[in-house]
Amino acid sequence: MAQAYADLFTSRPFDLTTFPNDEGYDELVLARGLPVRSVCEHHLLPFTGVAHIGYMPGDHILGLSKLARVLEHFACRPQVQERLTKQIAEWLGEHLNPKGVGVVIEAEHSCMTLRGVQATGSSTVTSSLSGLLRDDPSSRQEFFALAGLHR
């Protein structure tokens, strides 16, 4: 059991790989359906689901696999979904200085499905938006539409 928790709480190291945005790409970059797993910090039970992470580049673009790596980095610790969503968005904002960031996580919490209310099949959706993806209605709508979320 101790080894299982050690595995759950250990993320792989990664180097941030960015590239100059030489072409001036100014449209949304979105990785959707990224698998996410973490452990509820209140009950030490897992939650699993998918994350949709996007950004509107500024001077740099990010190596695409790094979106999944950032997700894994913050998910590999006892966590609440709300904080996880915000940590990913803030990290991308700090390291890329993009024109906008959007993160949505949809997850099933076993602390809700296996115990207590036993709401089997329920999911929790959280979002964190900044910059144009928060302030510009058309950019916001594009993010949610491309992520497959109808708002």
Q: Is residue 134's pLDDT more than 60?
A: yes
Q: Is residue 151's pLDDT more than 60?
A: no
Confidence band for 26, pLDDT divided at 50, 70 and 90: very high
Q: What local confidence, expressed as pLDDT, does residue 107 receive?
A: 94
- The Cα-based distances of 54 to 78, 115, 151 in angstroms read 24, 34, 17
Catalytic residues: 40-43, 81, 109, 111
* CATH topology (fold) of 2-146: GTP Cyclohydrolase I, domain 2 (3.30.1130)
Mean pLDDT of the chain: 90
Phi/psi of residue 17, nearest 5 degrees: -110, 110
d(CA 96, CA 137): 22
d(CA 62, CA 30): 11
Domain boundaries, the chain: 2-146
pLDDT in tens, 30-72: 999 999 999 888 888 888 999 999 999 999 999 889 999 999 9
pLDDT in tens, 68-117: 999 999 999 999 999 999 999 999 999 999 999 999 999 988 777 777 77
Cα-Cα-Cα-Cα dihedral sign, residues 22, 26, 27, 31? positive
Confidence band for 12, pLDDT divided at 50, 70 and 90: confident
